[in-house]
Structure 1
């Protein structure tokens, strides 16, 4: 066995910040030259229009702009409480341009209410954020003030605590990596994150949480978490400077264990070097526990290394387009006698894609073991908006070779379910 401290010193860094599950399967974020963040109605109208245009053109599931404005307004009023209740209005029956104008007028009315501390921009961005949360589990809007901090922290050297944070059911959940500072401090997998340094995480973005949890080596960050049985606890975690490859290996007498932590660009090179030690006919165990996924292309190529050309890996379904069936297209590189894949509730996205593909493959002879996986089977695209802020939109659905999606349901471990990974195969 490998000691957990040794593991961590070898692999527990991800760009000095959190591993973000819901940012997986994004296309690279498109950027535009952002204009100064004005607070006048014309600037805010332009920002809102940019968001609604992108959603209606690119989202996997879309709806008329008038409904978008109605949902955004309702979400904002819910946040503001009774003081804004009289401003709630159904705009869904109006034509889009009229609904947009009325939406802006209502925001201006709220902004001018005596005692209202939020500016027109802040109200608009909170409304957009509220809409995105209603749209689906992965679409989100990063407010311009948060994005500034994210970009600033991205330019500085910081340290991490070694923890994935995943967003699900309108909450954030912690998945510490084995041997990490977060695990050593007492953070448990599946605990709900309530606050960071005393500041509630509700209404924030994953990108923002990544930025605020980072910090100078040796400093502490205070994480308030809620246990699965309901009790809340504040845990202080010391940040560390961490370095990591994407995989870790362990060789045993008759088997070989490959631990995959994220589908990064470096993974394929590291995995091939490690798997070269696996002799044909031996058993390979791939540990995906706590793996939140990563780059879609990397996950596809990784799965293909164990499959024959022509075997299906996944189908990508997008709105208004024919299904795209992606199959292995290169000669099979590795031929173990069998592949056992370990999974848990922190196994998500790209890791789930690989598990489903190898279980379905007749040549890979894959099997999975553990507990039900996380359940993220969608793709996203991101864009830095001209008017400030960042929009991340769900653009497609992933369908396993078994003909079902694992999104929201997760994958069952096949060894404990007579070969099934879906409730109804």
Structure 2
């Protein structure tokens, strides 16, 4: 199930795997076999991490974390000598603790390496056990055992943002916009992503009782759902009425470039496009090579990024022999747009191929490397920072959109209007299905509602969505506002309610 919530796996980029360099002055050339994993991790961090850590930092981090973990998990009081500042002293202390307190080398490996990593203050450098590494790679390759939905954390609750077609979740009746409250009675509210993943993980065919809350019906449901082996789609596309394409990239797995190519060809087959919207919202990244593959389908040749390592060495990554397009592009971004997504968005904007619509992106402008250790374990180490072709800083800053829009539906509409679309048709059914110009989009909360007051029944809609059409920013003071058919400075709105649906047609002023 972990793939469904791939923000943990998302915030990374990959480059060519590094060979392990020697460091004879720092690490004994042949440490005991039992200490090889710790020795290798220590050397890789010391010699490759972008922050250039010091020996004493890593040694003391390892010793301190072992002491804390032994206290928490074993009730042991292990005293750390703050004068220990060499690998030899670390090795000696570990051997003493193991013999005196019957600790296993496996425990010491994990505690020591995690302690070293924690001293870096880098959330993207991680230690993986063999099992965690397998799950991590499955995440990136979009293969999973799970229920078949993706979610995001919203106000400490898990909001289901997409249900995969033909999945167990769809068969059970789970819908986008539902909140996942509990798994087998274990509450998910307030969970971080890792805790939520642990609740949802299980073997193929195993059952779980999912408690969901459906806001539009104001009720909770308990659904028994079986986990299944799934290959999650990375990319899906559609064509808006009005000759505008739409392609959503959920993650940059190894097939993202191929799937983007196929979707772009499919939606362009009937007639050429007049514009394209690429949706990178909540796409936390993935493989650098896949982001470059997508860029090569939108530009013939150009600089993709600058990378700078810890020694200040700069390398340029280019797109070569690509396929240029002749129409404008809008890229939808938000706080969940990270890493490879920011790289692609920044590069296409710098080459004046695209404009960004939405909110400031996550701000992860660093590249990581997976380095294998003994027994199948691994380190993911930050090696470089990267910048856009125009040297825009991404790390810890994010990309500022060209068109700032907060609301998720309004982001789509503003993107379309900025591409010259003159007619928008919004249709929402009582069942929660929502379309814009004949394309179905995930809907987390209703765009339209029926409201009854002293004057009778009336239609209200999200103020931010109406503001995106009318240009009236004062509407943002309310959550929902009345809407009626009338002429606005930006165009004409016609709103109608039929038995089980509400339709709004906006025609922009010429």
* Cα deviation digits, residues 301-321 of structure 1 (max 9, x gap): 3123323523x3211112336
Distance 1:191 1:373, change over 3 A: farther
**Is 2:273 the counterpart of 1:273?**
no
Contact 2:144/2:230 (8 A) holds in 1: no
| Pairing partner for 1:381 from 369, 378, 392 | 369
Counterpart-to-counterpart distance in 2, 1:271 and 1:56: 39
Distance 1:215 1:163, change over 3 A: same
In terms of Rg, which structure is larger? 2
Q: How many residues align?
A: 359
Q: Which runs of 5+ in 1 are unaligned?
A: 1-11, 33-40, 200-211, 224-233, 418-425
Q: Which runs of 5+ in 2 are unaligned?
A: 21-30, 182-188, 212-221, 406-510
Q: TM-score, normalised by structure 1?
A: 0.70
Counterpart-to-counterpart distance in 2, 1:125 and 1:194: 18
**Counterpart in the other structure of 1:231:** none
CA-based RMSD: 4.3
Shift of 1:248: 0.9
Contact 1:21/1:348 (8 A) holds in 2: no
**Counterpart in the other structure of 1:294:** 286
Classify the secondary structure of the residue corresponding to 2:321: coil
| Pairing partner for 1:335 from 326, 330, 339 | 326
Counterpart-to-counterpart distance in 2, 1:56 and 1:161: 41
Shift of 1:237: 6.9
Shift of 1:356: 0.9
Shift of 1:406: 1.8
Contact 2:138/2:144 (8 A) holds in 1: no
Classify the secondary structure of the residue corresponding to 2:329: strand
Q: Which has the higher contact order (CA 8 A, sep 6+)?
A: 1
Q: For residues 99-114 of structure 1, what are the structure 2 equivalents within 5 Å?
A: 99-113=86-100
Counterpart-to-counterpart distance in 1, 2:139 and 2:264: 36
Q: TM-score, normalised by structure 2?
A: 0.59
Counterpart-to-counterpart distance in 1, 2:106 and 2:319: 48
Distance 1:274 1:50, change over 3 A: same
Distance 1:60 1:122, change over 3 A: same
Shift of 1:245: 3.5
Counterpart-to-counterpart distance in 2, 1:152 and 1:263: 13
Q: For residues 146-185 of structure 1, what are the structure 2 equivalents within 5 Å?
A: 159-162=145-148, 177-180=161-164, 181=169
* Cα deviation digits, residues 312-331 of structure 1 (max 9, x gap): 32111123363112233225
Counterpart-to-counterpart distance in 2, 1:64 and 1:150: 29
Contact 2:334/2:360 (8 A) holds in 1: yes
| Pairing partner for 2:111 from 126, 134, 142 | 126
Classify the secondary structure of the residue corresponding to 2:32: helix
* Cα deviation digits, residues 176-195 of structure 1 (max 9, x gap): 55125487562499962363
| Pairing partner for 1:371 from 359, 375, 379 | 359
Contact 1:161/1:239 (8 A) holds in 2: yes
Shift of 1:273: 2.7
Classify the secondary structure of the residue corresponding to 1:74: helix
Distance 1:165 1:315, change over 3 A: farther
| Pairing partner for 2:127 from 116, 141, 157 | 141
Contact 1:379/1:395 (8 A) holds in 2: yes
Contact 1:304/1:313 (8 A) holds in 2: no
Shift of 1:370: 2.3
| Pairing partner for 1:259 from 239, 243, 248 | 248
Shift of 1:165: 9.1
Distance 1:287 1:187, change over 3 A: farther
**Counterpart in the other structure of 1:52:** 42
**Counterpart in the other structure of 2:82:** 90
Counterpart-to-counterpart distance in 2, 1:173 and 1:28: 38
**Counterpart in the other structure of 1:248:** 236
Higher strand share: 2
Bigger mean CA deviation after superposition, 64-73 or 143-152:
143-152
Counterpart-to-counterpart distance in 1, 2:17 and 2:324: 32
Classify the secondary structure of the residue corresponding to 2:385: strand
